[in-house]
Amino acid sequence: MLARHPAREKAGRMPKLLAIESSCDETAVAILAGDPSAPPRILASEISSQVALHQAYGGVVPELASRNHSMHLRALIERALDQAGRSLHDLDAFAATTGPGLASSLLVGSTAAKALALATGKPFIAVNHLEGHLFSPFIDQGTIPPHLALIVSGGHTLLLAVSGANHYQLLGRTLDDAAGEAFDKVAKMLGLPYPGGPAIERTALTGRPEAFHFPRSMLQDRGHDFSFSGLKTAVLYTLKDLDPEHGAAHESQLGDLCAAFQQAVVDVLVTKTLRAAAATDHQVIAVSGGVSMNQALRAQLDHAASAAGRTVHFAKPSLCTDNAAMIASAALQRHLAGQHTSLDAEIDPNLALTEPTSSLRHS
Ligand code: KG4
Ligand code: ZN
């Protein structure tokens, strides 16, 4: 008699979809199974990072990124199908990130997902990359409770009041650089590798946050917006003071500079997030995006939230930086609600979270 696998049998009956993420420098494919009665199951999540490729340039080169997505996507799709033990025809829908992001990179993933949808006669679902991040702390739970969301990535710093899937109110955003962008730019100034966040966090472990005092921008402002470009300029001026000739940090000062910079970012994020949670009366706070990998941010936000009687959910480390499981999770919500996207829908490099995803049709 064949051995029975109840979990696999249940996943076998659930709707399943494949999602592609290619908005920036990660090419990723995931297959997710789920229905409204249970949390979704990640059947496969494959990723090919281009970080090493762009490191030589100190940041993402769009032309290289899109070429690399094209090169790796087919193999990633095959690996994901293999890992999930499914064929293309077992899937019920195909999804891709259609914005925000780099135009030529978005086109690679969305064109591939549309082609798969067309070839199999299944629907296509356009996903907002930020919605993917937004849902990532709750993937294992299946439902999205009302909460205050902080999205901190390389391109965005947003505070939102979320009353459920598809119902968001923008409270605040950065007026200039995103928090992750500040990490990346300051790392470059300090001669640390791209991406800057992990490099600064590692180096900060050897330094003292109080060794330098950098500004905490917009803390006096009672609104919920952020600004990080003044902080970046303050680091630049400090480097010029320390070394007027080259503006470069001495090896022995790197730890202190990184620790002080990181603490300034964390102070602003923690203070403004808790203030917004109090102003909107949210008990639950959720944090997502690449910067939410940062252990200092996690520890200090956790501490401040529990002191204020609130709870914080973070995305799992594997779901913080760009991945396709979070895109599949956002797509699954739309699929279960019968919200599919026309194959004529365009990508939108500047798509905002509060805008409707283009050309939705209900089926
Ligand atoms: O969410 P993400 O992978 O891509 C975007 O959608 O932008 O975020 C990437 C950003 C980069 O700016 C990177 O420096 C930052 O997340 N990041 C970190 C850490 N890990 C990644 N920032 C601070 N600390 C980290 N450990
Ligand atoms: Zn992202």
pLDDT by residue (tens digit) across 219-246?
888 899 999 999 999 999 999 999 888 8
Exposure string for 119-146, b = 16+ CB within 10 A, e = fewer: ebebbbbbbbbbbbbbbbbbbeebebee
Exposure string for 47-70, b = 16+ CB within 10 A, e = fewer: bbebeeebeeebebbeebbbbbbb
SS3 label, residue 156? coil
Ligand 1 center from residue 182 Cα (angstroms): 10
pLDDT score recorded for residue 250: 86
Residue 10 pLDDT level (bands cut at 50, 70, 90): low
pLDDT score recorded for residue 1: 40
- Number of other CB atoms surrounding residue 163 within 10 Å: 14
Ligand 1 center from residue 12 Cα (angstroms): 35
Minimum-distance ligand to the CA of 127? 2
Peptide bond into 195 cis (omega under 30): yes
pLDDT score recorded for residue 244: 86
The pTM for the full model equals 0.92
Residue 63 has pLDDT above 80, yes or no: yes
Number of H helices, E strands in the chain: 12, 12
SS3 label, residue 128? strand
pLDDT digits (tens, 9 = 90+) for 277-315: 999 999 999 999 999 999 999 999 999 999 999 999 999
pLDDT digits (tens, 9 = 90+) for 316-354: 999 999 999 999 999 999 999 999 999 999 999 999 987
Residue 4 has pLDDT above 90, yes or no: no
96 torsion bin: left (phi>0), alpha (psi -120 to 50), beta (else): beta
Q: Whose CA is nearest to atom 16 of ligand 1?
A: 290
Mean pLDDT (the chain, rounded): 92
Ligand 1 center from residue 114 Cα (angstroms): 28
pLDDT digits (tens, 9 = 90+) for 158-176: 999 999 877 889 999 999 9
Q: Which of 60, 145, 118, 142 is nearest to 322 (CA)?
A: 60
Atom of ligand 1 nearest to the CA of 156: 7
Atom of ligand 1 nearest to the CA of 265: 23
Ligand 1 lining (C-beta closer than 6 Å): 24, 153-155, 180, 183-184, 195-198, 201, 289-291, 293-294, 321-322
Ligand 1 pocket mutation, candidates 129, 136, 183, criterion most atoms within 8 A of CB: 183
More confident residue, 82 or 4: 82
Residue 249 has pLDDT above 90, yes or no: no
Residue 362 has pLDDT above 70, yes or no: no
pLDDT score recorded for residue 42: 95
Per DSSP, 174 falls in state B
pLDDT score recorded for residue 12: 64
Residue 3 has pLDDT above 80, yes or no: no
Ligand 1 center from residue 258 Cα (angstroms): 15
Atom of ligand 1 nearest to the CA of 133: 1
pLDDT score recorded for residue 229: 95
Q: Whose CA is nearest to atom 14 of ligand 1?
A: 197
Ligand 1 center from residue 336 Cα (angstroms): 30
User: Are the beta carbons of 97 and 113 closer than 8 angstroms?
Assistant: no
Minimum-distance ligand to the CA of 201? 1
pLDDT score recorded for residue 141: 83
Residue 272 has pLDDT above 70, yes or no: yes
Ligand 2 center from residue 269 Cα (angstroms): 18
> What gap in Å lies between CA 298 and CA 147, rounded to an integer?
17
> What gap in Å lies between CA 208 and CA 206, rounded to an integer?
7
Residues 6+ apart with CB under 8 A from 65: 24, 25, 50, 54, 102, 104, 105
